[in-house]
Chain A
Amino acid sequence: MTFAEIQKRAEATWRQFRGGPGALVLVGDASCGRAAGSSEVIDAIRSELGKIGKQARVVSVGCLGICYAEPLVEIALPGTASVLYGKVTPAAAKELARWHVGKGEPRADLALATTNGASLDGVPRLEDLPMMQGQARLLTRNCGRIAPDNIDHYIANGGYQGLAKALTMSPEDVITEVERSGLRGRGGVGFPTGRKWRFVYEAAGSSKHIVANAEEGEPGTFKDRFLLESDPHALLEGMLIAGYAVGAGEGHIFVQAHYPALARTLRTAINQAYELGLCGAHALGADFSFELELRTGISSYVCGEETGLLESLESKRPVPRARPPYPAQAGLWAEPTVVNNVETLANAPLILERGADAFRSLGAADSPGAKLFTLAGDVSRPGVVEFPLGVTLRRLIEGAGGGLPEGAGLGAVLLGGIAGGFLPPEYLDTPVDFDSLQPAGAMMGTGAILVADESRCVLDILLNQLEFLSDESCGKCVPCRLGARQMLNIVKAITEGRGRATDVENLKRIGAAMKVASACGLGQAAPNPVLSAIRHFGSVYEAHIGRGVCPAGVCPMHGERKQA
């Protein structure tokens, strides 16, 4: 089939899906939906429909990012307002089947939003929900709207057009377009993607690789899981474009071990891409062949580090490699390799399809484009949102996230999982992009925004992070292996009331040594939470060490105080 024929078929499938006869019931059935009980909701809807003798198409979709209101159910019935219902219990699901599907009467009392612009008794439109206002909805355009296990849905909504366009261009022009877009790596470091691709393009060797880093191990980060569970083909298309651009014949997707549902979704997506001839030998009839492989079920935090990931793909202990050589010269099997984060690769189709200028029209000058942010912790509306880079923390936390639950006061914001560091409330109006937070000693990192209210103790959170980091240190280099352990011991002692006057100075010295002397990003970033907490929450250290009290009343503080 030509791409035009593939598109034609996909559009017919999509028309039938959205406009087919009878009711369409979409259930948010990604991991977040399932953990909130979407399976029971689907069962309840089906059993009630059977009871009242009504037919409807009940379809599992991904996630809209409105995770706080899962399970989500959207009902579209010709002649009625299409309605998104939130926090649907099995009992409410039966009501919806009976009223909206059965009698054609939407239930405004259970509704979260309307999705087809129709008005319904004061129910807001989806795009007017406080969580959705101001969002870019580019990477997220399909999330929660299409069935992730149906490639036609992706294609009918513009999918694989970026690849089709790339295949009409020279590989070098594709790279130039990505360079011109200014896209920077979404895994946290922010390295220019186009430049990375050019390194691999120019590297000697006929066998090259694209590796998608889906080892989303940074605690508090779940954007890649969300994107892949909701719209897996965005990644595959991005990998194909990258493969064509740099001249790679193989793509490898490395998936975090704790994401079992994702393995199935990706396996299905890969099979479908092969069936349509979008990958494999002569993709879309072009002089370009690309094989896709999936590694699932095994990972570790240090596999998120690109050379640790490559070691793991080679079935070794994921101990990061010394650099140079960089993966662009000697990556997988010592061959030139692009290692990109999932979100980075998923941006490539948008850049090719819409052009670099359209991509640059959003975001900040040095951080163009939109970015996925995950909101979690003490926030009223946890979930995933997509905003132009440069959005303020206040917009994210108070606007999209709805502030803190029950009016609690903001204590601290943790950015980018562990590596990004702590910020106090004074920084709420700082733009969030790759560079603006650095003067404050913090980083955007992966885009995770973890909110802690005033009742939490920064040192207790720090202890949790240091336990994690010292567990996850691979042990190869001394600064990380011993440094993380020493920082853990010191912070643990402080939280148990055994702090000493020299502790803060020692933490600073250990942190400085780890930053300059650790072999990889894990050890280099590990001191960030400790040092940012010292900088912004010095009084919390002082209270624990100097006065022997935990101001939040969280830490045990039972040990005897010792003088240094």
Chain B
Amino acid sequence: MQNELQKVFSRYQGRRDELIPILQDIQDALGYLPAEAMNAAADFLKLPASAVFGVASFYDQLHTAPQGRHSVSVCEGTSCHIRGSAQILRAIEKKFALKPGQTTPDHMFTLERVACFGLCAMSPVVMVDGRLYGNMSPAKVLKLIEKLE
């Protein structure tokens, strides 16, 4: 991990305002933000560790725990809600005994509840590994998840 962290830090000057880009880079390299990495970032920027954790824990896009190999994000924006996203979320929760924010025990995927992808013209919308799918149904989404390896 030290190598990866040094590589990230070498691209920055150590200014306080670089914290978010640094955390993004660390997450890209390690998949999430282990406590050790956050402490190293705090040392590098001469910030208290609490300030780093405060930022890391605020934003949904920064993860302080390991994530699944894939990500499944169900949009629960108002348009998707009107068009039935709750049923999609319930179907996934039931089939995989999973709540939003949790990862399957085999680390296959992490389920997220999101609002909003701005694809309201094709609600309900689901994002799998960064790819958006419109006009979804519970059956269509379960099929997408089954294809994950």
Binding site for B on A (CB under 8 A): 31-32, 34-36, 67-68, 70, 216-222, 225-226, 256-260, 295, 297-300, 312-318, 374-378, 382-384, 414, 417-418, 448, 450, 452, 456, 461, 464-465, 467-468, 474
Q: A256-B118, A258-B116 are in contact. Are A300 and B58 (CB under 8 A)?
A: yes
B125 close to A456 (CB less than 8 A):
no
A68 to B60, CA, bound (A): 30
Apart from A226-B118, A315-B18, list 4 A-B contacts with CB within 8 A: A31-B119, A300-B59, A383-B121, A468-B76
Measured in the bound complex, the distance between the Cα atoms of B86 and A219 in whole Å is 15
Q: Is there contact, CB below 8 Å, between B125 and A450?
A: no
**Interface readout for B81-95 with A: 1 if CB under 8 Å, 0 if not?**
111001000000000
Tell me, rounded to whole Å, the shortest Cβ–Cβ distance linking A188 to chain B: 15
User: What residues of chain B lie closer than 8 Å to A31, measured between beta carbons?
Assistant: 117-119, 132
Asked whether any CB of chain A lies closer than 8 Å to the CB of B20, the reply is yes
The digit string for B117-133, where 1 denotes a CB below 8 A from any CB of A, is 11111110101001111
Task: Tell whether A317 pairs with B54 under 8 Å between CB atoms, given A70-B122, A464-B78.
Answer: yes
CB closest residue in chain A, given B52: A315
**B residues in contact with A225, CB < 8 Å:** 118
Q: Are B81 and A461 in contact (CB under 8 A)?
A: yes
A313 / chain B contacts, CB cutoff of 8 Å: 17
Report yes or no: B61 in contact with A297, Cβ–Cβ below 8 A: yes
Interface pair B62/A377, CB less than 8 Å apart: no
Task: Compute how far the CA of A452 lies from the CA of B123 in the bound complex, rounded to whole angstroms.
Answer: 13
Q: Which residues of the partner chain A approach B115 to less than 8 Å between Cβ atoms?
A: 219, 468
B122 with A216: CB separation less than 8 A: no
Interface centre among A68, A297, A313, A384 (most CB of B within 10 A): A297
Could you say which of B19, B20, B114 has the most chain A C-beta atoms within 10 Å of its C-beta? B20
Contact with A374, one of B55, B62, B120, B132 (Cβ below 8 angstroms)? B120
For A417, the chain B residues whose CB sits under 8 A away are: 78
Complex CA gap A316/B127 in Å reads 27
Name the A residues within 8 Å of B64 (CB-CB): none
Which residue of B21, B59, B78, B127 is within 8 Å of A219 (Cβ)? B78
Give chain B interface residues in 2-41, CB to chain A under 8 Å: 16-21, 24
Chain B residue nearest to A313 (CB atoms) is B17
A456's nearest neighbour on chain B, judged by CB, is B82
**B123 proximity list for chain A (CB < 8 A):** 376-377, 382
The interface residues of chain A lying within 8 Å CB-to-CB of B21 are 315
Query: Shortest distance in angstroms between A491's beta carbon and chain B's nearest beta carbon?
Result: 14
Q: Which of B18, B58, B61, B125 contacts A35 (CB 8 A)?
A: B125
Contact A222-B120, Cβ < 8 Å, known A260-B130, A377-B82, A417-B78: yes
A101 CA to B108 CA, complexed, in Å? 44
| Residue of B whose beta carbon sits closest to that of A375 | B121
A256 to B20, CA, bound (A): 14
Once the chains are docked, how many angstroms separate the CA of A141 from the CA of B116?
A: 26
26 A–B contact pairs at CB < 8 A?
Answer: A32-B121, A32-B122, A35-B125, A36-B134, A67-B121, A70-B122, A217-B116, A219-B115, A220-B120, A222-B120, A257-B61, A258-B127, A295-B20, A312-B20, A314-B16, A317-B54, A376-B120, A376-B123, A377-B82, A378-B83, A382-B120, A382-B122, A450-B78, A450-B82, A452-B82, A461-B78
A contact residues around B132 at 8 Å (CB): 31, 34-35
Nearest chain B CB to A218 CB, angstrom units? 8
Tally of contacts, chain A with chain B, CB under 8 A? 135
> What A residues does B79 contact at CB under 8 A?
219-220, 376-377, 450
Whether the Cβ atoms of B78 and A315 lie closer than 8 Å is no
B57-71 interface bits toward A, Cβ cutoff 8 Å, 1 = contact, 0 = none: 011111000000000
- Complex CA distance for A259 and B130, rounded to whole angstroms: 10
Contacts A318-B58, A450-B82; A68 near B118 (Cβ below 8 A): no
Binding site for A on B (CB under 8 A): 16-21, 24, 54-55, 58-62, 76-79, 81-83, 86, 114-123, 125, 127, 130-135
CB distance from B71 to the nearest CB of A (A): 12
For residue B20, which residues in chain A have a CB less than 8 angstroms away from its CB?
295, 298, 312, 315
Complex Cα gap A297–B22 (Å): 12
With A68-B121, A220-B79, A220-B120 already in contact, the answer to whether A314 and B55 are too (CB < 8 A) is: no
Complex CA gap A48/B9 in Å reads: 49
Q: Which residues of B contact A297 (CB under 8 A)?
A: 24, 61
Say whether B83 contacts A377, CB under 8 Å.
Answer: yes
Instruction: Tell me which residues across on chain B come within 8 A of A465, comparing CB atoms.
Output: 78
Which of the listed residues B17, B121, B134 has the most CB atoms from chain A within 10 Å of its own CB? B121
Assembly CA distance A68 to B123 (angstroms):
10
Top 8 closest pairs, chain A to chain B, by CB: A67-B121, A219-B77, A376-B120, A222-B118, A382-B121, A35-B134, A315-B19, A219-B116
Q: How far is the CA of A474 from the CA of B135 in the complex (A)?
A: 32
Q: Of B21, B118, B130, which is in contact with the most chain A CB atoms at under 10 Å from its CB?
A: B118
Closest to A472 in B: B115
Contact status B118-A259, CB under 8 Å: yes
Kindly provide the distance from the CB of A123 to the nearest chain B CB, expressed in whole angstroms.
Answer: 23
Asked if A220 and B121 sit within 8 Å, CB to CB, the answer is no
- A298 touching B78 by the CB < 8 A rule? no
Task: Look across to chain A and name the residue whose beta carbon is closest to the beta carbon of B56.
Answer: A317
**A258 cross-chain contacts in B, Cβ below 8 A:** 114, 116-118, 127
- Output the least CB separation between B13 and chain A (Å): 13
A467 to chain B: which residues have CB within 8 Å?
A: 76
- Chain A residue with minimal CB distance to B85? A464
Q: How far, in whole Å, are A219 and B24 apart by their CA atoms in the complex?
A: 25
Query: In the assembly, what is the distance between CA of A295 and CA of B135, in Å?
Result: 30
Chain A nearest Cβ from B130, distance in angstroms:
6
Within the assembled complex, what's the spacing in Å between the Cα atoms of A70 and B83?
A: 18
Task: Give the distance in Å from the alpha carbon of A312 to the alpha carbon of B55 in the complex.
Answer: 9
Contacts of B54 in A (CB 8 A): 317
A221 to B121 CA separation, bound complex (whole angstroms) = 10
Which chain A positions have C-beta within 8 A of B60? 257, 300
A313 vs B117: C-alpha distance in the bound complex, in angstroms?
21
Closest-CB distance, B87 to chain A (whole angstroms): 12
Cβ-defined contact, B121 with A376, below 8 A:
yes
Complex: how many Å from CA A313 to CA B78?
A: 27
Interface centre among B21, B59, B116, B133 (most CB of A within 10 A): B116
Whole-angstrom CA separation of A297 from B61 in the bound complex: 7
